[in-house]
Amino acid sequence: MKFLYRYLKPFLPYMSLGLLIKTVGTLMDLLIPYILEYTVDTLVPSENRDRILLFGGIMVLCSLLGIVGNIVANRMASAVSRDCTRAIRHDLFTRVSYLSARQIDDITIPTLETRITSDTYNIHHMIGMMQRLGVRAPILLIGGIVVTFSMEPVLCLVLVSTLPFLTIAVAAISKKGVPLFKSLQNRSDDMVRVVRENAQGIRVIKALSKSDYEKDKFDVKNRSVAAAEQKSGILMALTNPLMSAFLNIGMAAVILVGAFRINGGQAKPGMVIAFMSYFTIILNAMLSVTRMFTLYSKGAASAARISDILAVPYDLPVSSDTQVYSHGSVIEFRDVCFSYPGMKDTLKHISFRLEPGQTLGIIGATGSGKSTIVQLLLRFYDADSGQILIDGRDIRSYPPEELRTRFGTVLQNDFIFAGTVLENIVFGRDIPMESVTSAASDAQASSFISALPGDYSYSLTAKGTNLSGGQKQRVLITRALASHPEILLLDDSSSALDYKTDAKLRASLRQHFSEVTKVIVAQRVSSLSHADLILVLDRGEIVGSGTHDSLLSSCPIYREISTSQIGGDVL
């Protein structure tokens, strides 16, 4: 909960004003039964109508002040909780954006989604209700006890005798509540993961007729969440009946003792009426206190989960080496080894050098490590050993923004965002329209874009579901080319293109991007045959390296792929 103070600190003056207004409004509510007792026991027997009307008007005024004060204070509390939660959500989203790929793999995306949605909502609710009830309930509770003690100590002691039992019960329940709510949120993460997988893979599920299987899988997770929610709900629900039982026992004792004291002339009827009003106030205050403990349990569990993400250290630090040894986007891998978590030897001893303007082609079986080379080059992950250099400088010495702005990238399974075609191409960068249209022409996308209703203003759905596979790839290639990158990374970016369009794309890249260093990952030999250097990967190792012609004679794997696709050395 310590991290919350940092977000609440800017709002402390505003919160203090709101709490002051809340205090005044609460004191007005607390004053009404006291005035009622004075009116019934002192003014009514004197039959002084003017004073009765005067004090009746004072009670009405106190009621109005209490209502207005509580409304104003509640609105201020809502504003603080809204703005504070917005700041937390902003920082959480920002931190998630800068998590490394390895950290996201460890934490998982579903739990990040849950923490940025339901966990921040729990904190929002806690901050708001703590301001509303955190002052009012204690003042009503303590103030009610103090006033009743000044009015009738004996009856007050009868009532206060129940409070230790209430305190012990609430403390014990709250202590067990926080772990239960943490467990509930963790199970919610699992359910969100299943929902997310189903939403993304709905076509596969329908194609394989596995809807019932996925329903059963979701039902297991859903029941798990329901069981955890039921367990925590039952525990926290014990507070209200326990408090009502203890306080009603105390109330019955107060009525009994009060009747004897009135009969003995030691108390007056107005005092008992006021005492019953204060008892109701104290009862509601105690119920509010238990509600605060429930909200605190949820909020504390959520705050701990959010704090864990905000406290995740940056695991891709920037080193101090800033010396540039060469110019023109020289790329070099020196004996690079890498493994994903839970795997072994994803890449083994990868070494190559690519001069400025040259093209590197990477080919190999699925899972051989082709895309991993691209991800290491972008520094989504750090190599376990070896060095990766650009212009003779270790990529670990580049700030992430400086490193990645040098690239134009189309990743395997890249993403189309909801928005217009132009917004997906420009993507928040300062790119003139001439560059966009030129890049679309080079990417062979201008013909189909011009045929869309509104051309570049045409709205795309999330993941580009209203485009064909080849159209999506051409939009993504346009996005990569529009910024005139120094290095172009194309990871299986033309797999959905027909051979004719693919050939036109390669010809355009050779003509207009001859000075750009290119790294192309592909399954087609025809997409790589023009490359200056081709790497053939098998199980994370380079089993062949050279030009197309040299690999046909020296690498059996490459020759087998080429023969199966284009009939040997005939292009």
How many CB atoms within 10 Å of residue 167?
Answer: 12
Q: Does the pLDDT at position 560 exceed 80?
A: yes
Indicate the DSSP class of residue 273: H
**Averaged over 284-291, what is the pLDDT?**
76
d(CA 514, CA 524): 21
How many CB atoms within 10 Å of residue 234?
Answer: 10
What per-residue confidence (pLDDT) applies to 570? 46
Please list the residues that pair with 389 across neighbouring strands: 332, 394
What per-residue confidence (pLDDT) applies to 322? 55
Q: What is the 3-state secondary structure (H, E, C) of 413-473?
A: CCCCCCEEHHHHHHCCCCCCHHHHHHHHHHCCCHHHHHHCCCHHHCEECHHHCCCCHHHHH
What per-residue confidence (pLDDT) applies to 325? 56
Instruction: End-to-end CA distance of the chain: give it in Å, rounded.
Output: 66
Structure tokens at 475: 């939009």
**Averaged over 376-400, what is the pLDDT?**
91
236 in helix, strand or coil?
helix
d(CA 7, CA 163): 34
**pLDDT > 70: percent of the chain:** 96
d(CA 558, CA 537): 10
What per-residue confidence (pLDDT) applies to 321? 65
Q: How confident is residue 569, by pLDDT bands cut at 50, 70 and 90? A: very low
CA dihedral of 544, 550, 551, 555, whole degrees rounded to 10:
-70
Q: How confident is residue 571, by pLDDT bands cut at 50, 70 and 90? A: very low
**Averaged over 116-138, what is the pLDDT?**
87
Q: Does the pLDDT at position 167 exceed 80?
A: no
Residues near 257 by Cβ (< 8 Å), separated by ≥ 6? 154, 155, 158
Structure tokens at 204: 């596969």
How many CB atoms within 10 Å of residue 546?
Answer: 18
**Averaged over 412-432, what is the pLDDT?**
88
Per-residue pLDDT of 169-223, as tens digits, reads: 777 776 777 678 778 878 888 888 888 778 777 777 777 777 888 888 888 888 8
Q: Does the pLDDT at position 230 exceed 80?
A: yes
DSSP string, 351-388: EEEE-TT-EEEEEESTTSSHHHHHHHHTTSS--SEEEE
